[in-house]
């Protein structure tokens, strides 16, 4: 999936109305997972809590992978960010038809990351300090790719230093 996401052109000039193929590929995997789970449950009873745990883990992994894919983006326009939102909304809409799991695990993790693309320099520094759930790489990408085009070098270095300060206690 990360390879499919890497092939997407995120620095588009106009807002797209069609989602990207990585969304379809991911949904196809979930459809296959659903079929296999149903086939197994015909032979062996799968308790609902077990089925729910399987779904939750798979969805959480998918959502974490989506954020990782977005963190690998090298160039992104505002229209590209809108495309990320379109892709994720399409994924959620189709996923919710496949499963009764609510709320969708780590939905906010993805949405919060996408919305961070729109923050100003000052808001981004506060956001970085408040959102320790994201990796150093994911935070660094937000600064370099998203804000990189409209902040100066000094401001970028200040934000990267804030990320480094957060990362330091983990070492």
What is the reported pTM? 0.91
97 shares a domain with 45: yes
Same domain, 7 and 46: yes
Please indicate, yes or no, whether residues 67 and 22 belong to a single structural domain of this protein: yes
Same domain as 87, residue 128: no
- Quote the CA–CA distance of 40 and 98 in Å, as a whole number: 17
Q: 98 and 146 in one domain? A: no
Tell me which residue range forms the domain holding 125. 119-170
Distance CA 86, CA 99 (A): 20
How many domains would you assign to the chain?
A: 2
Is the same domain home to 113 and 156? no
Tens digits of residue pLDDT in 39-80 = 999 999 999 999 999 999 999 999 999 999 999 999 988 899
HSE on the CB side for 34, CA within 13 Å? 15
Q: Which residue matches tokens 């996408």?
A: 114
Q: Cα dihedral angle (142, 78, 22, 74), rounded to 10 degrees? A: -40
pLDDT, one tens digit per residue, over 87-106 is: 999 999 999 999 999 999 99
**Looking at the structure, do residues 79 and 67 belong to the same domain, yes or no?**
yes
Q: Are residues 75 and 138 in the same domain?
A: no
């Amino acid at each position: 999936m990360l390879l499919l996401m890497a092939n997407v052109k995120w620095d588009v000039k106009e807002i797209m109305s069609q989602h990207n193929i990585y969304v379809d590929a991911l949904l196809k995997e979930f459809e296959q997972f659903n079929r296999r789970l149903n086939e197994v449950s015909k032979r062996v009873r799968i308790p609902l809590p077990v089925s729910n745990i399987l779904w939750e883990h798979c969805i959480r992994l998918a959502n974490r992978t989506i954020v990782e894919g977005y963190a690998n983006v090298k160039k992104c326009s505002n229209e590209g960010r809108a495309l990320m939102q379109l892709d994720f909304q399409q994924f959620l809409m189709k996923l919710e038809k496949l499963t009764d799991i609510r709320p969708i695990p780590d939905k906010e993790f993805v949405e919060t990351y996408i919305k961070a693309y729109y923050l100003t320099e000052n808001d981004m520094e506060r956001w970085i300090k408040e959102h320790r759930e994201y990796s150093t790489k994911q935070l660094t990408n937000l600064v370099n790719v998203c804000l990189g085009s409209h902040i100066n070098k000094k401001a970028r270095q200040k934000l990267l230093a804030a990320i480094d300060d957060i990362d330091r206690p983990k070492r």
